[in-house]
Structure 1
Amino acid sequence: MKVLIVSHYFWPESFRINDMAAELVAQGCEVTVLTGQPNYPDGDIFPGYRALSIRRERHPAGFDVVRVPSHPRRRGNASNLARNYLASIVNMAVLGPYLLRGRRYDVVFVYATSPVLHALSAHVVATIQRAKLVTWVQDLWPESLEVTGFVRNPQVLGAVRRLVSWIYRRNDLLLAQSEAFARTIRAMAGDTPVKYYPNPGEAAFSAPPDRSQPPALTLKPGFNVVFAGNLGTVQSLDTVIDAAELLRNRPGLRFVLVGSGSRLEWLKEQVAARRLENVELPGRFPVTAMPALFEQASALMVSLVPSPIMDQTIPSKVQAYLAAGRPVIASLNGEGARVIEEAGAGIACRAGDAAALAQAVLDLADMPADRRQVLGDAARRFYDNHFEPAMLSRRLIGMFEELTRAAPLSAATRLKD
Structure 2
Amino acid sequence: MKVLLVTQYFSPENFKSNDIAFELAKRGYDIDVLTGIPNYPEGKYYKGFGLFRKRVEKINGVRVYRSFQFSRGQNKQWRLALNYLSFAFFASIWALFLSLFKHYDCVIVHAPSPIIQALPGILVKKIQRIPLYLWVLDLWPEAMQSGGGIQNKRILTTIENIVKFIYTNSTNILISSEEFRIPILKKGNYNEKIEYFPNWSEDLLFMRQDFDIPALPKGFIIMLAGNLGKSQDLDAVLKAAMEMKNSNNIKWVLIGDGSKKSWIDDAIVKKDLQDNVFTLGRFPFEYMPTFFKSADALLITLSGEYPDLKLVVPARLQSYMAAGRPVLAMIDGAGADLIHKANCGYSVKSGDYISLARIIRDKVFSDLETFEKLGLNGRKYFEKHFQKNKCINHLCKIIDSK
Range of TM-score over shorter length: over 0.9
Match of 2:26 in 1: 26
* 1:53 CA drift (Å): 5.7
Unaligned 5+ segments in structure 1 are 405-417
* 1:121 CA drift (Å): 1.1
Distance 2:211 2:14 in 1: 23
- The answer to whether structure 1 residue 249 and structure 2 residue 246 are counterparts is yes
Distance 1:185 1:362 in 2: 40
Correspondence for 1:272 among 260, 269, 293:
269
**Would the aligned equivalents of 1:51 and 1:71 in 2 still touch at CA under 8 Å?**
no
* 1:27 CA drift (Å): 2.7
**Would the aligned equivalents of 1:216 and 1:285 in 2 still touch at CA under 8 Å?**
no
Distance 2:59 2:147 in 1: 35
Deviates more, 1:362-371 or 1:227-236: 362-371
Aligned-residue sequence identity (percent) comes to 34
| Residues 27 and 373 (structure 1), Cα distance of their counterparts in 2 relative to 1, 3 Å cut | farther
Aligned partner of residue 307 in structure 2, secondary structure: coil
Residues 287-333 of structure 1: per-residue CA shift (max 9 Å, x gap): 11111100110000000010311100001100110000000011100
Match of 2:222 in 1: 225
* 1:148 CA drift (Å): 4.1
**Would the aligned equivalents of 1:343 and 1:379 in 2 still touch at CA under 8 Å?**
yes
Amino acid at match of 2:395: L
Distance 1:117 1:41 in 2: 19
Distance 1:375 1:367 in 2: 14
Deviates more, 1:171-180 or 1:357-366: 357-366
Question: Cα RMSD between the aligned structures?
Answer: 1.8
Match of 2:255 in 1: 258
- The answer to whether structure 1 residue 49 and structure 2 residue 46 are counterparts is no
Distance 2:75 2:141 in 1: 22
* 1:236 CA drift (Å): 0.7
Distance 1:100 1:54 in 2: 21
Distance 1:364 1:224 in 2: 16
Residues 228-274 of structure 1: per-residue CA shift (max 9 Å, x gap): 01111110111110010000011321111111111112212221111
| TM score, norm. by length of structure 2 | 0.94
Distance 1:380 1:335 in 2: 18
Alignment of 1:157-176 (within 5 A): 157-176=156-175
**Would the aligned equivalents of 1:165 and 1:188 in 2 still touch at CA under 8 Å?**
yes
Match of 1:240 in 2: 237
Match of 2:40 in 1: 40
Amino acid at match of 2:48: G
Distance 1:313 1:149 in 2: 16
**Would the aligned equivalents of 2:211 and 2:287 in 1 still touch at CA under 8 Å?**
no
Residues 36-59 of structure 1: per-residue CA shift (max 9 Å, x gap): 111111111111111356722111
Distance 1:145 1:214 in 2: 37
Distance 2:54 2:262 in 1: 37
Aligned partner of residue 71 in structure 2, secondary structure: coil
Match of 1:325 in 2: 324
Distance 1:156 1:298 in 2: 44
Deviates more, 1:330-339 or 1:250-259: 250-259
| TM score, norm. by length of structure 1 | 0.91
Match of 2:300 in 1: 302
Alignment of 1:72-221 (within 5 A): 72-99=71-98, 101-148=100-147, 150-191=149-190, 193-201=193-201, 203=202, 205-211=203-209, 213-221=210-218
**Would the aligned equivalents of 1:298 and 1:326 in 2 still touch at CA under 8 Å?**
yes
Aligned partner of residue 292 in structure 2, secondary structure: helix
**Would the aligned equivalents of 2:108 and 2:135 in 1 still touch at CA under 8 Å?**
yes
Aligned partner of residue 309 in structure 1, secondary structure: helix
Amino acid at match of 2:254: L
* 1:72 CA drift (Å): 1.7
Match of 1:15 in 2: 15
Bigger RCO (CA 8 Å, 6+ sep): 1
Match of 2:2 in 1: 2
Aligned partner of residue 18 in structure 1, secondary structure: helix
Aligned partner of residue 115 in structure 2, secondary structure: coil
Residues 58-89 of structure 1: per-residue CA shift (max 9 Å, x gap): 112x2111112221222233332222212211
Aligned partner of residue 79 in structure 1, secondary structure: helix
Residues 169-211 of structure 1: per-residue CA shift (max 9 Å, x gap): 111100111011122112224245111111111x3x4443425
Aligned partner of residue 82 in structure 1, secondary structure: helix
Distance 1:25 1:361 in 2: 45
Alignment of 1:280-359 (within 5 A): 280-306=278-304, 307-359=306-358
| Residues 5 and 165 (structure 1), Cα distance of their counterparts in 2 relative to 1, 3 Å cut | same
